[in-house]
Copies of this chain bind each other. A is one copy, B any other.
Amino acid sequence: MGRAVPDTHGEILAAAARRFTVTGYRGTSLQDIAREVGCSKATVLYHFANKEALLAELMAPAIEVLRSLDDQLNGLTGAAAQEVAAQGFVDLAVRFRQEIAVLRGEFPELLCQPAFAHIQEISDRLRDALAGHSDRPGARIAALVLLAGISEACAEFADIPDDELRLALLTLARRAVEPVDAPVPHPPTTEDKDS
């Protein structure tokens, strides 16, 4: 009865997600998506203004969670920032495996599109937090390796249950981040307005 409602919009969204994960955003044509849904290409463009809008709607939930993680990170320093960043990103990556798989590799190019204007800055801050806000090259490199590797792993291990993948990644992340040996974000000579 109720299920007789076609919900073409949602079907297109789901089909696009499936195709994007296999052949990438650039490598997937609107025709491909339409074929998978079983409608015409014009129908796809009736439900979505253009290809970019389709991608934007697909990524919206993941981006929302990423933003909230960015908020949580605000103000944290040192090991606390590392732990929250690791836990938050692993959780996000596991939950939005498919969305992350979509962006795989095309990240830098897709970020240029206006729909993803601030994602670059957010992920930069996330990387910075995972490095414990350290400016040592080793810490920054480790943070990048982890973020990129976790994304890739989530896209790859689609068959592993969420809990198991999350645990493995979090364990790895805690083992791999470069430890911030001294909790000295700034020596007590400067003004400490919040302590």
State the A residues within 8 Å of B (CB).
23-24, 26-27, 104-107, 109, 137-138, 141-142, 144-153, 156-157, 160, 164-165, 168-169, 171-172, 175-176, 178
Judging by beta carbons under 8 Å apart, are A153 and B145 in contact?
yes
Neighbouring B residues of A148 by C-beta, 8 Å: 148-149, 151-153
Neighbouring B residues of A156 by C-beta, 8 Å: 144
Judging by beta carbons under 8 Å apart, are A172 and B27 in contact?
no
27 A-B residue pairings within 8 Å (CB atoms): A24-B26, A24-B106, A104-B105, A105-B105, A105-B106, A137-B164, A137-B165, A138-B171, A138-B172, A141-B157, A141-B169, A142-B172, A144-B149, A144-B153, A145-B145, A145-B149, A145-B150, A145-B152, A145-B153, A145-B169, A147-B149, A148-B148, A148-B149, A149-B150, A149-B152, A152-B152, A175-B175
Neighbouring B residues of A147 by C-beta, 8 Å: 149
A-B complex: 3 closest residue pairs judged by Cβ atoms: A105-B105, A149-B149, A145-B149
Neighbouring B residues of A144 by C-beta, 8 Å: 149, 152-153, 156-157
Residue of chain B at shortest CB distance from A141 = B168
Residue of chain B at shortest CB distance from A165 = B141
Q: When the two chains form the complex, which single residue of B146, B164, B178 contacts A145, counting CB atoms closer than 8 Å?
A: B146
* A163 shortest CB reach to chain B, Å: 11
Neighbouring B residues of A23 by C-beta, 8 Å: 109
A142-B26 Cα distance, complex, nearest whole Å: 29
